[in-house]
Structure 1
Amino acid sequence: MTVILLDPLRPEVLPLAAMKFVVGPVLVTEDVHPTTLWALQNAAAAPVNDDGDPLTVLMSTDRSHPLVRARIDRGEVVIAVQRHSGDALVEAVALMDTLRRNGPWESQQTHDSLRRYLLEEVYELLDAIDVGTQDDLREELGDLLLQVLFHARIAADDRVAPFDIDDVARSFVAKVSHRTPGILSGEHSDLETQIREWEERKAAEKARGSILDGIATTAPALALAQKVLERLAAAGFPKPEVDPELLSVTVDVGGRSTEDLTRQRVLDLMDRVYAAESSAQAAGVALTNPTQWLEHLGVADDYVAQDDSAQEGAEQEGAAPNVSSEPDAAQEPTERTNSGPADPLPEDARESTSTDEVATADDETSTDDFVPVPDDGGLRDDDESATAQPDLDDDVSLDDYYGSESIDEVAADSNDAGDTQTPEPGAPNVVPRSPRED
């Protein structure tokens, strides 16, 4: 007569089309949950040898069950619960729940104990993207999914602030829905509009007190350096205050870990930025140009002294200092650093790794190009405003952003610009990034 196939993960869900068939005799296979059997008034366990009585309905959750296959082969009508994309995730969640409760290894794990596995899975996924097959990619995505399910299940056991995988999914839906209203509503499909919409809403959500908020300091050192420098470039941070060792990294074979050295330099720079922001906040100032940064970094007097020294030297030689022309290759802008140049190593014992290798694996660019900064966001002599907002499409180098002049020249130009507009204190600095970033 009829075969009704239930969803094994949701056995209580009965298709509407099957409602009229469950009022008469119903045979139920052993895989159906007992609660379903009890809910049906005329249900009974199916015999081992079903004779295919045309007056009975067979109910099961297993399409491959021998009794189900026999009836399908005889041409009986099959009514099944409709499956949807993502249904297999429900099964994965149930599997993870069982392992967490019954597995001796899984039950002992914590967020911290899984850290190394999570990192390994990310790297293996990146390898599959670079050189693997589609099968490799599917497998590694599954391994990464395991980590997400595992951490969510561990969080569900927390006695203080528990959450589960459904809370994780709801968080994702809420965030993306709020940040992409134009796309989801069909109002627009423009990339630039989507990025701007995403960043504006993200800035309103986060209400960050620092331009460095939200940066993962556990990222690899070079990736961390790139992220920090991107944020600083967009905020008008003076380039001479960036340790030159962050712009070009030298690997000292047999020496101290380059990863550790680079990370420490980035963290030191971040500490200086936080201190400057605290000073500016106390003074009610929004840091938007080099002059303000120098003042609250506590180094403005150093640059005044450099200017005075240069002026005196020029007067003694009987010529005014040239402050308008760009320095040639041998005249780098003055940079403050506490470490002198390292002793040169033999060529066979030294490798030089430019930070821009983190930014792209395909293009060979100069060190100054490793941080993409929009063209019209730079502080240059020809800028109409020292606080011009960056364009979302144009990428240029750090030198193009900060300009090749010394920082005192840039600061002077910024102060001379009569139409400079300073945003309200505490106004967020919106940095254009991928709409999928955090």
Structure 2
Amino acid sequence: MAVVLLDPSRPDLVPAGAVGLLSTTVAVTEDVHPNLLWQLTDYVLVGADERKLETVLTSDPTHPVVRARIAAGERVVQGEVVRGAPLMRAVDLMDRLRRTGPWEQRQTHDSLRRYLLEECYELLDAIESGTRDDLRSELGDLLLQVLFHARIAEDSADGAFDIDDVAQSFVDKVSYRTPGVLDGEHADLERQIEEWEAAKAAERAKGSVLDGIVTTQPALALTQKLFERLAGADFPIVAVSPSLYSVNVPFRRHATTSVEDEQRRRAVVLMDLVRAAEEAATADGVALRDENTWRKYLGMDYDESLFGDDLTDTGEIPVVVVDEPVEDDVEYEDVSLDKDPIVAGKKPKKVKDIAVGAVPPVVVVEKWSAAEAD
């Protein structure tokens, strides 16, 4: 007497140890997949004469007949449990809901936006102050959003993809960016980070340094991401208005402007400036890989001698003569909007012998001060 347990995520796959048990008539539970039933020599549904049969075939270990046989000490035959099987059941569940659920059928990528945002914040809250159960539950809610969006995309008439394509995208990206670790070549943290950043840089080399930056994210997160990208591309810091480094929130009963919107607007102005420089450089067939080249296409002062006849950079590192060494991590806590010549509409002052007056005209539209908000 034996009970053959099938993997519900792979309902037509029979464990190797059960092949010999299925050569005669077997009892099957209602959940056994029709594809497998067609392959059986003979079968009867439980509830009939299954007591006389040696083998019960099922994918439901909680079925009353199955539980009774296991409790009686019958041998259980099942395949190796495959990690990720519940994920496959989740995919199947989402598919059934999309096909039969009246609410799920009506949803679009756009209609789910607010739920996705809520789930992200709830997950962050669980990480900050929740229990392990809270964290697991919120991760499940976020997974639901991923499955839902992938299932909606599957129904698209143009450019359709499914959850397998999403998973493959993850595999391709991570495999490309972490070759040394995955190949067992090394287990060095710094080297892994370098490989990851180098791979990302190679991807961005085909487009803009701003590719992938989402302007709808919170303004401070947008500004930080923008600065990280530009710093990694040797963008000249003097081309960045100091007004971006400081956020002033007015203390008044009725605010007339949104600090969030103002910060985002300034970040977008800088992004437009960067894109304009990239387009001009692309037209000349030049890659923006150093500060001197950036300065040239930003319309700032630059060292012409560092360029060859074909306008390509010679590879030398441009040197800016200053009174003091320039630190990588510049502190801007002492910079206020009133001190920003662009914001205040004043003539530019000298900063460590570098004239900020050379900042491209496009940033002049950033004029703003607390007085204007009154």
Report the TM-score when normalising by structure 1: 0.67
Deviates more, 1:206-215 or 1:250-259: 206-215
CA distance in 2, matches of 1:21, 1:163: 40
Q: Is the 8 A contact 1:326 1:405 kept in 2?
A: no
Q: Is the 8 A contact 1:27 1:43 kept in 2?
A: yes
Deviates more, 1:171-180 or 1:159-168: 171-180
Number of the residue aligned with 1:282:
283
Matches within 5 A, 1:178-193: 178-193=176-191
CA distance in 2, matches of 1:46, 1:40: 15
Q: How much is the aligned-residue C-alpha RMSD, in angstroms?
A: 2.9
Number of the residue aligned with 2:131:
133
Number of the residue aligned with 1:324:
323
Aligned residue for 1:40, secondary structure, equals coil
Q: Is the 8 A contact 1:15 1:80 kept in 2?
A: yes
- Residues 44 and 326 of structure 1: is their aligned pair in 2 closer, same or farther, counting only changes over 3 Å? closer
Aligned residue identity for 1:42? D
- Residues 247 and 48 of structure 1: is their aligned pair in 2 closer, same or farther, counting only changes over 3 Å? same
Q: Is the 8 A contact 1:241 1:336 kept in 2?
A: no
For residue 297 of structure 1, report the CA deviation from its aligned partner. 2.2
Picking from 160, 168, 172, the partner of 2:166 is 168
CA distance in 2, matches of 1:325, 1:101: 67
- Residues 90 and 74 of structure 1: is their aligned pair in 2 closer, same or farther, counting only changes over 3 Å? same
For residue 285 of structure 1, report the CA deviation from its aligned partner. 4.1
Aligned residue for 1:43, secondary structure, equals strand
CA distance in 1, matches of 2:272, 2:84: 44
CA distance in 1, matches of 2:27, 2:221: 62
Number of the residue aligned with 2:318:
none
CA distance in 1, matches of 2:166, 2:353: 49
Deviates more, 1:289-298 or 1:61-70: 289-298
Matched, 1:340 2:338: no
Q: Is the 8 A contact 2:178 2:195 kept in 1?
A: yes
Q: Is the 8 A contact 2:243 2:343 kept in 1?
A: no
Q: Is the 8 A contact 1:125 1:140 kept in 2?
A: yes
Matches within 5 A, 1:224-243: 224-243=222-241
Q: Is the 8 A contact 1:238 1:407 kept in 2?
A: no
For residue 323 of structure 1, report the CA deviation from its aligned partner. 6.5
How many pairs does the alignment contain? 323
CA distance in 1, matches of 2:325, 2:36: 82
Q: Which runs of 5+ in 2 are unaligned?
A: 303-320, 327-331, 346-350, 359-374
Listed one character per residue, the Cα deviations across residues 121-147 of structure 1 (whole Å, up to 9, x for unaligned) are 111111111111111111110110011
Number of the residue aligned with 1:300:
301
Indicate the structure whose relative CO is greater, using CA pairs within 8 Å and at least 6 residues apart.
1
Listed one character per residue, the Cα deviations across residues 22-78 of structure 1 (whole Å, up to 9, x for unaligned) are 112311122323443332112222335754x4x621112221222212221221111
Number of the residue aligned with 2:306:
none
Matches within 5 A, 1:39-438: 39-48=39-48, 50-51=50-51, 53=52, 56-253=54-251, 254-300=255-301, 324=323, 337-340=341-344, 405-407=352-354
Q: Is the 8 A contact 1:210 1:274 kept in 2?
A: yes
CA distance in 2, matches of 1:203, 1:292: 17
